[in-house]
Structure 1
Amino acid sequence: MRGIDHLVLCGHDLGAMRDSYTALGFTLTPEARHPFGTGNSLIQLEGCFLELLSVIEPKKITQAGAGHFSFAAFNRDFLERGEGMSMLVLDSTDARADVAAFRAAGLQTYEPFDFQRQAKLPSGEEVTVGFSLAFATDPALPNIAFFTCQQHAPEHFWKPHYQRHANRALTILDVSLVAERPDAHAAFLSAFAGVPAEAVAGGITLRTARGNISCITPQAFARSFGRARDMGQGPHFGGFTVGVRRIARLEEAISAPAYQLRKDGAHRAVLSVDVNGSALAFFALNRQDDEDE
């Protein structure tokens, strides 16, 4: 069973995005460059991460071709419509097997995409990390994309230093895809995630090995996050939920007055404003760490 690997959060200014998430108490990896024109900075959690992404060198972007998906071109075009979550990524042990499985399920697939980039360790040492990606898209969801990610050097990628956050963030609990007719997307999402869709209030959810994929109506999203989404561009990722140790620790870690939390019961809080186009909620898992003693 696949689980959530990471979310691609796309914005115009990578430095500004880093500042925003730092103000929310997250630890970020140093900026890195892809060989195809984009750059990123990561928020590593427990087995998953948030990828803050911008176009850095547009001249290096290659266009998509027959049977070939262009990660950089897709995100460049996404930014022409606005900032936000552009892609949902699940983990993989074999990207090529994923392509075959997606194709057998009738999904629109592409050739696997392999690449490497440099990464900086907490010590300052530069190392090479490598990935193989298996993309799948749905004509009914033209403004967002999906892929699985197979890592080839996980020992260089995951570092405890980057996984410790002042806000005590732990994991991605849920991703909210907003659509007028959630049921219409159940077959694609189920084939991509490899799990069945379950009916929930206001839509459907898919319980992956790590985190849920929810597809909900605009009305259900507004009830959950406290604000409406513009549906003029069709279905899109509206927000996500991060599991934290405790809400009190989260409140202490937020350093920017612009970011206020709206409590929703004893264990959930929603950020008052979007962060680079995405609504953000937090849920307390009530786990302690040494600093909580």
Structure 2
Amino acid sequence: MPLKHILGADHVVITVRDLDASAAQWKRLGFTVSPRGTHSPQMGSGNYTIMFGDDYLELLGILAETDQNKPTRDFLAKREGIERTAFTTDDAAAGAAELKSQGLEPLGPVHFGRPVELPGGGTGEARFNVFRWPLVEAPGGMRIFACQHLTRETVWIPELQKHANGATRIARVEILSADPKAAAAHLSRLIDEPVSAEADGIYRVPSGGKRADFLFYDQAVLAKRYPEAVRQGATSESAVAIVLGTDDLAKAKAVPGAVAHGDAASIPAEAANGVIISFIAG
């Protein structure tokens, strides 16, 4: 039975070592990037967001060491890239209680916020309640958590949702695993969504509703899906690619360094903090 308070993928966290330089690079890739945000002191982190219609990408960096960000610091000691994916929750406390009823011990809920520069001047605040699945529960090496947005109007700002590359949504998050079947089953168990086996050893888990799907596969499948030039700089394990829908594939093909292949255009991982960014029509 699906979790009542988990409503599908909300955003993907791309953890980076140089936050401002990374934001500048993603702007060059055709994304509209929000002004820099600084989270509440206990979080010790800052971010830039890349907003779409219902979901978004988050570039996250560490500003000060805290207990809350130790997992992120441990991740960055190894590499940059997709550290975790958030699910939307309509009630973080109730969502955490659902996990407990399944025998899992959630971390949180934790409340925090960040100031937001508003279009036309002035400052607002974005506020959130979040909880995490246990750190050891990381399907395919990707951690997951849930985010309750208390102030959507200061996050989904219309001016931030228009991108030169045409990006409109997250279609898929793709995860490398030596045992993709087991990794997919792991995520399925954690979020109570079904696994479907596809051709070529790919396993798909929906995140819920019309939000992004998760695809699990191995290195051989990765090599078939993306040209070698696109795979340069990619991780050899865990979440490796984000597939975005675009309203005009020609816009994505025009991004500097983009590689056209099949019905997609992809940005090499070495140009996007270790993450393959692929665009498809729609």
Q: TM-score, normalised by structure 2?
A: 0.88
Specify which of 122, 133, 137 is matched with residue 119 of structure 2.
122
In the alignment, the residues of structure 1 paired with residue 153 and residue 212 of structure 2 have an alpha-carbon distance, to the nearest angstrom, of 23
1:32-71 CA-partner distances (Å, limit 9, x unpaired): 111221110000001100000111223xx1x2xxxxxx2x
Matched, 1:207 2:206: yes
2: CA distance, partners of 1:116 / 1:100: 22
Alpha-carbon offset, residue 154 of structure 1: 1.0
1 CA distance for matches of 2:80 and 2:62? Answer: 12
- After TM superposition, the structure 1 = structure 2 runs for residues 186-205 of structure 1, keeping only pairs within 5 Å, are 186-201=184-199, 202-205=201-204
* CA distance in 2: counterparts of 1:166 and 1:3, whole angstroms: 26
The answer to whether the 8 A contact 1:2-1:193 is kept is no
Distance 2:104 2:198 in 1: 25
Q: Give me the whole-angstrom Cα distance separating, in 2, the residues matched to 1:141 and 1:34.
A: 24
1:178 to 176, 179, 187: 176
Please report how far the alpha carbon of residue 226 of structure 1 lies from its aligned counterpart in structure 2 after TM superposition: 2.8
Asked whether the 8 Å contact 1:138–1:188 carries over to 2, the reply is no
1:82-231 equivalent positions in 2, closer than 5 A = 82-137=79-134, 139=136, 141=138, 143-201=141-199, 202-208=201-207, 209=209, 210-227=211-228, 231=236
Counterpart CA distance in 2 for 1:176 and 1:53 is 19
Counterpart of 2:29 in structure 1 is 24
Match of 1:289 in 2: none
Question: Equivalents in 1 of 2:160, 2:34: separation in Å?
Answer: 6
Aligned in 2, Cα 1:240/1:230: closer, same or farther, shift over 3 Å? closer
SS in 2 for 1:283: strand
Provide the residue aligned with 2:261 in structure 1: 264
Q: State which of 64, 68, 74 in structure 2 corresponds to 1:57.
A: 64
SS in 1 for 2:242: strand
Q: Is the 8 A contact 1:102 1:191 kept in 2?
A: no
Number of matched pairs: 266
CA distance in 2, matches of 1:264, 1:129: 39
Are 1:79 and 2:84 counterparts? no
Q: Select between 161-170 and 193-202 the one with higher mean Cα deviation.
A: 193-202
Structure 2 counterpart of 1:54, which letter?
G
Using the alignment, how far apart are the partners of 2:7 and 2:142 within structure 1?
A: 19
Matches of 2:74 and 2:121, distance apart in 1: 34
SS at 2:265 equivalent: strand
Instruction: Give the counterpart of 2:45 among 6, 14, 38.
Output: 38
Segments of structure 1 that go 5 or more residues without pairing to the other structure are 64-69, 286-293
* SS of equivalent to 1:185: helix
- Give the Cα separation in 2 of the matches to 1:57 and 1:139: 24
Could you tell me the TM-score, scaled by structure 1's length?
Answer: 0.85
| C-alpha contact 2:17 2:62 (8 A) present in aligned 1 | yes
Aligned AA for 1:149? C
* Greater Cα shift, 202-211 or 188-197: 188-197
- The aligned amino acid for 1:21 is W
Q: CA deviation at 1:125?
A: 1.5
Which residue of structure 2 lines up, in the alignment, with residue 236 of structure 1? 238
1:63-83 Cα shifts (integer Å, max 9, x gaps): 2xxxxxx2x221111110010
**Structure 2 counterpart of 1:50, one-letter code:** L
- The one-letter code matched in structure 1 to 2:8 is G
User: Structure 1, residues 152-173: CA drift from partner, whole Å, max 9, x if none?
Assistant: 1112221110001111110000
**In 2, Cα distance between the equivalents of 1:49 and 1:6?**
5
Task: For residue 230 of structure 1, report the CA deviation from its aligned partner.
Answer: 5.1
SS in structure 1 of the partner of residue 277 of structure 2? strand
Q: Secondary structure at the match of 1:2?
A: strand
Distance 1:108 1:85 in 2: 23
Q: Secondary structure at the match of 2:138?
A: coil
Letter aligned with residue 242 of structure 1: L
Preserved CA contact (<8 Å) 1:87 1:145: yes
